[in-house]
Structure 1
Amino acid sequence: MKAVMIESPYHVVVTEVEDAPLRDNEVRIQVKAAGICGSDIHAYKGLHPFRKPPVIIGHEVSGEVIEVGSAVTRVKVGDKVTVEPQAGCGQCEHCLRGEINYCDNRQAPGIGKWYGTMAENFVAPEHVVFVLPPDMDHRLGALAEPLAVGVHAVRKAGIQVGEKVAVLGAGPIGLLALAAAREAGATTILATDVFDYCLDSAKTLGATHTINIKDKDNWVEEAKEHIGGPFDKVLIAVGAPGILNQALSLVKKGGRIVTIAMFHEEQSLDIMQLQGQEKEMVGCFCYTREDTLAAVALLASGRIQSEAVVTHVLPYTQAAEGFRMVCQKEDNPLKVLISFE
């Protein structure tokens, strides 16, 4: 089959590989759409802590089941599906509590022998395969995984009805976290970014206020002026220098900050503000089955507009162009999907 591989940093190729074997408990999915994630770009740059070139990349997917193992009972050939792209050991205390994202032996596509989703077909254990409505567009189905990240972040933040929320970074993850915050009941949502087109999408998805912070030194005060005071919760979806302390200055006493972005450089932290005002800063990594179920249900409800997030769909033969586009911000990209249809 054809597969998209990051052969070395900044070098993407389409290559021929053998189909992955199918075990009794596994499902083979004909890939229709696979998204380029921010973490895939980290791998593209050679910076990802786990996905190292050469690697068949991708973990966001929507497709159709074309083969099932002998022990599979819940999904069938012909089902339209997406995948929660992680699998735990099933035996540790975290797995037994449903916290697969905490498992020390957690597996994910593009790590070890598990091929990524940017291939003509993708194999996954049945228990991480989720059936989508038959009429759902694959562009929307491919958003299930990144939306689950946003759902998980909102749950970690404990966002309540009527709260004021700031989302720092309006890339695809920030946008979908924003949408999840809106669904959780946040009534005032401010989004920040350095690109106006990202902020336009934030408004479409429910942001009540936006600020382009490019070349602005006083944007934190401007943000608070917009809503008449500090925020209840802050979601960090960009790993920019100084962002932790900016978030601390945005959030109210006793408020909570959730870090979603991947950080590759050290950040300073105003510990006096964190401690003296009893603010909380919480890490956020991936999702649980509960988050993925909620994400699929939200997509099925029709309340997420895929066109506000998906800006480009490219054939797999143009995958290199897609990675370059996202990395260099060419042609105003948000979510770029690689199509195998």
Structure 2
Amino acid sequence: MKAVFVEEAYKVVVKEVEQPKLAANEVLIKVKVTGICGSDIHTYKGLHLFRKPPVIIGHEIAGEVVQIGEAVTQFRVGDRVTVEPQTGCGVCEQCLTGNVNYCGRRGAPGINGWYGTMAEYFAAPEQTVFKLPHGMSYDQGVLVEPFAVGVHAVRKADIQLGDKVAILGAGPIGLLTLAAAKAAGATTVLVTDVIDYALEGATNMGATHTMNIMNKQDWTSEAKELVGGEFDKVLVAVGVPGIVDNAISLLGKGGRCVTIAMFHGTQTFDIVNLQQGEKEIIGCMTYTREDTIAAIHLIAAGAVKEDVIITHKLPYDEAARGFQMVDKKEDSSLKVLVEF
């Protein structure tokens, strides 16, 4: 089968590889569409913490079941599905309490021999596979995984009805987090970025305010003035230097900051501001099964405008162009899908 590799930093190639052999508990999926994620770009640059080239890339997927293992009971050939692309050991306290994302032996596509999704076929354990509701397109289905990231972040933030929320970063994860925050009841949502077309996407997704912070020295004060006060919750969807301190500056007393982005290097912040205002910083790592199920239901209910998020669809043999497009922010790209 054909598969897309990040061969080395900044080099994407298509190779012929063996089709995955199914274990008894696995489902074989014919990939229809798979997405290029921001974390895939970290791999593309050679910066990912654990997914290193050469690797079959990808973890966002929608497709059709074409074969099932002998122990599989919940799926049949022809089912339209997506995948929550993570596994746990199944026996530790974290797995048994539903927090597979905490498991010390957590598995994911692109590590420990599990092929990534950017291939003609993808094998996944039955417990990670979810049927797409009737009427949900493959394009919507491929957004379930990144939207689950936003859903999980909103849960960690404990966004309540009427909350005033700031989302820092208007890439696909930031925009999907915006959709989740609106669904949770946030009434005022400011989205910041340095790219105007991304902020236009935020407006189209329902942001009440946007701000281009390029070359702004005191943009946090301006942001608070724009919305008439401090924020209850701030969600950080971009990992640039100083962004956590910016988030804390935006918060009112008792406010909560949730970090979603993949960070490299050290973040510093004003500990006095954090402590005296009893503010909180909470880390956020992928999602749980509960988040994935909620993401499916919310997408089915129309919470996500996929035509805003998905800006490009390319055939698999043009995947290299897609990675460059996302990395360089070319052609007003947000979410780029690769089709098989």
TM normalised by structure 1 equals 0.99
Structure 1 residues 143-222: aligned runs within 5 Å = 143-222=143-222
Specify the alignment match of 2:238 in structure 1: 238
Which residue in the other structure is 1:302 paired with? 302
The secondary structure found in structure 2 opposite 1:148 is: helix
SS of the residue corresponding to residue 61 of structure 1 reads strand
Cα distance between partner residues in 1 of 2:329 and 2:204: 20
Q: CA RMSD in A?
A: 0.7
Q: Provide the identity percentage.
A: 64
Q: Deviations 1:34-85 (Å, cap 9, x if unpaired)? A: 0000000000000001110000000000001111111111111111100000
Q: Aligned AA for 1:42?
A: H
Residue 62 of structure 1 contacts residue 142 of structure 1 at CA under 8 Å; is this kept in 2? Answer: yes
Distance 1:268 1:34 in 2: 36
Contact 2:149-2:287 at 8 Å conserved across structures? yes
Runs of 4+ aligned residues of structure 1 deviating over 3 Å after TM superposition are: none
Give the distance between the partners of 1:62 and 1:297, measured in 2 at CA: 16
Contact 1:55–1:110, Cα closer than 8 Å, also in 2 = yes
By how many angstroms is 1:303 displaced?
A: 2.6
The CA deviation at 1:126 is 0.5
For 2:327, the equivalent position in structure 1 comes to: 327
Residue pairs, 1:15-94, within 5 angstroms: 15-94=15-94
**C-alpha distance in structure 2 between counterparts of 1:214 and 1:260, whole Å:** 21
The answer to whether the 8 Å contact 1:235/1:259 transfers is yes
Question: Aligned equivalents of 2:283 and 2:45: distance in 1?
Answer: 24
Distance in 2 between residues matched to 1:273 and 1:297, nearest whole Å: 39
Aligned 8 A contact 1:148 1:294 in 2 = yes
C-alpha separation in 1, matches of 2:68 and 2:43:
30
- 1:247 deviation in Å? 0.5
**CA apart distance, 1:217:** 1.1
Q: For the Cα contact (< 8 Å) 1:79–1:134, is it kept in 2?
A: no
After alignment, is 129-138 or 184-193 more displaced? Answer: 129-138
- Comparing 279-288 with 326-335, greater Cα deviation is found at 326-335
Alpha-carbon offset, residue 135 of structure 1 = 2.5
Provide the secondary structure at the position in 2 that maps to 1:222: helix
Instruction: Provide, for residues 287-331 of structure 1, a one-character-per-residue CA deviation record: whole Å limited to 9, x for no partner.
Output: 000000000111111231101100000000000000011111111
Give the residue type in structure 1 aligned to 2:273: Q
Q: Deviations over 1:107-135 (max 9, x none)?
A: 00001110000000100001110000242
Confirm or deny: 8 A CA contact 2:6 2:12 kept in the other structure. Answer: yes
Q: Which residue of 2 aligns with 1:251?
A: 251
* Structure 1 partner of 2:271: 271
For 1:333, the aligned partner's letter is S
> Unaligned regions of 5+ residues in structure 2, if any?
none
Length-normalised TM-score, structure 2: 0.99
C-alpha separation in 2, matches of 1:75 and 1:150: 27
Please tell me whether the aligned partners of residues 253 and 278 of structure 1 are also in contact (alpha carbons under 8 angstroms). yes
| Matching residue's letter, 1:98 | G
Distance (whole Å) between structure 2 residues aligned to residue 261 and residue 335 of structure 1 = 16
The 8 Å contact of residues 183 and 303 in structure 2, kept in 1 or not, is answered as: no
Contact 1:80-1:134 at 8 Å conserved across structures: no
What runs of 5+ residues in structure 1 fail to find an aligned partner? none
Q: Which amino acid counterpart does residue 161 of structure 2 have in structure 1?
A: V
CA distance, structure 1, for counterparts of residue 337 and residue 78 of structure 2:
22
